[in-house]
Amino acid sequence: MVPLAFPRRSALYVPAINARAVAKARELPVDVVILDLEDSVAVDQKGLARQQISEAVRVGGFGPRELIVRINGSDTPWHETDLQAALLAAPAGILLPKVESPESLLRIAQRMDTVGTPSHTKLWCMLETPRGVLAANEILQCHSRLAVAVMGTSDLTRDLRAQHTALRLPLLASLGLCLLAARAHGIGILDGVHLDLEDAVGFGEICKQGRELGFDGKTLIHPRQIAACNAAYSPTLADVELAQAIIASYAEARERGQGVTVVGGRLVEALHVAEAQRVLALHQALMHPDRADPTRSGNP
């Protein structure tokens, strides 16, 4: 059996300045909470937001939710102070926006090693510019601390001078390149946000498309999006039953000295068994969230 999966179906951005929203996030049925110091925090509130993040991570209480801190980019005046606070707080992950080369991540990873940041604190990176997408292969293999890539589809759409469309055809090439790099290097990858909170139908279709493409989950901007996102990225009962059938049938075939079998009229090989094991591991993690790594919320 493959290692127990960390569910990352839904990742909610929570403005770090909004103490009420941070408190509420501790109870939401979301897999990942991203405490945001970047876009959702006004310039004159960044200092207070930084303090509130440090306190939120110290207090904990996020349960199995993976607690991530998004800091401001290296080209901003708040980056260094954000980074110092995040390293001291040691959440489950530190998310760096607008990554365009391995160097920016390597600098932070080396800093983490120098100051003794706990090993459970991982690096996450946002791919949201043309340069970042084209460098995805180099970026996503640059350091063992790197765990997850996050697509920044809003910024990417703007930089491409593309249009927001229902099928996201203008973004498919970029999404595909980043997915290829993530899978090649064993990195998790999350789809970007859907900005129209009134477009429930469109949101559902985008979630479906994201799962079909191969994303592990999706970043969200509002709690009302969580349920549909979780449903889209969760194995269905039919998925689980098929996975169980594939594993059982293949095991029987191996006992007979055969390397292939047929399930539901379809040929099954070892590669299908590996995917079935992944589906069952994810299902188990969702059914038993208490089995999740206790350091996911940043508390050893």
The pLDDT-based confidence of 6 (bands split at 50, 70, 90) is: confident
Query: Does a structural domain hold residue 19?
Result: yes
Residues 169, 228 within the same domain:
yes
Residues 242, 215 within the same domain:
no
Tokens 């993690």 -> residue: 285
Query: Does a structural domain hold residue 295?
Result: no
CB atoms within 10 A of CB 78: 18
Closest CA to 96 of 67, 60, 72, 115: 72
The CATH number linked to 28 is: 3.20.20.60
Give the domain range for residue 212: 10-232
Residues 194, 245 within the same domain:
no
Query: Does a structural domain hold residue 204?
Result: yes
Measured between alpha carbons, how far is 68 from 86 in angstroms, rounded to an integer?
A: 9
93-96 vs 66-70, strand pairing mode = parallel
- Is 184:178 a contact under the CB 8 Å cutoff? no
Residues 196, 169 within the same domain:
yes
Q: Give per-residue pLDDT as tens, 246-261.
A: 999 999 999 999 999 9
Q: Please say which residue of 205, 232, 259 terminates a domain.
A: 232
Query: Does a structural domain hold residue 297?
Result: no
Residues 144, 214 within the same domain:
yes
pLDDT of res. 1 = 34
Query: Does a structural domain hold residue 148?
Result: yes
Residues 207, 265 within the same domain:
no
- In this predicted structure, the answer to whether residue 236 has a pLDDT above a threshold of 70 is yes
Measured between alpha carbons, how far is 35 from 27 in angstroms, rounded to an integer?
A: 15
Q: Please say which residue of 232, 257, 273 terminates a domain.
A: 232
Q: Give per-residue pLDDT as tens, 154-212.
A: 999 999 999 999 999 999 999 999 999 999 999 999 999 999 999 999 999 999 999 99
pTM of the full structure: 0.93
Query: Does a structural domain hold residue 1?
Result: no
Give the number of domains in the chain: 2
- Is 192:152 a contact under the CB 8 Å cutoff? yes
Residues 198, 213 within the same domain:
yes
Residues 109, 144 within the same domain:
yes
The mean pLDDT of 89-105, rounded to a whole number, is 96
Residues 165, 251 within the same domain:
no
Residues 91, 129 within the same domain:
yes
Report the first-to-last Cα separation within the chain, whole angstroms: 26
Residues 99, 200 within the same domain:
yes
- Is 295:8 a contact under the CB 8 Å cutoff? no
Query: Does a structural domain hold residue 298?
Result: no
pLDDT of res. 5 = 59
Residues 149, 266 within the same domain:
no
Percent helix, strand, coil in the chain, to 5, is: 50, 15, 35
Q: Please say which residue of 195, 217, 232 terminates a domain.
A: 232
Query: Does a structural domain hold residue 2?
Result: no
The token pair that represents 83 in the structure block = 């980074």
The token pair that represents 93 in the structure block = 């992950």
- In this predicted structure, the answer to whether residue 294 has a pLDDT above a threshold of 80 is no
- In this predicted structure, the answer to whether residue 2 has a pLDDT above a threshold of 70 is no
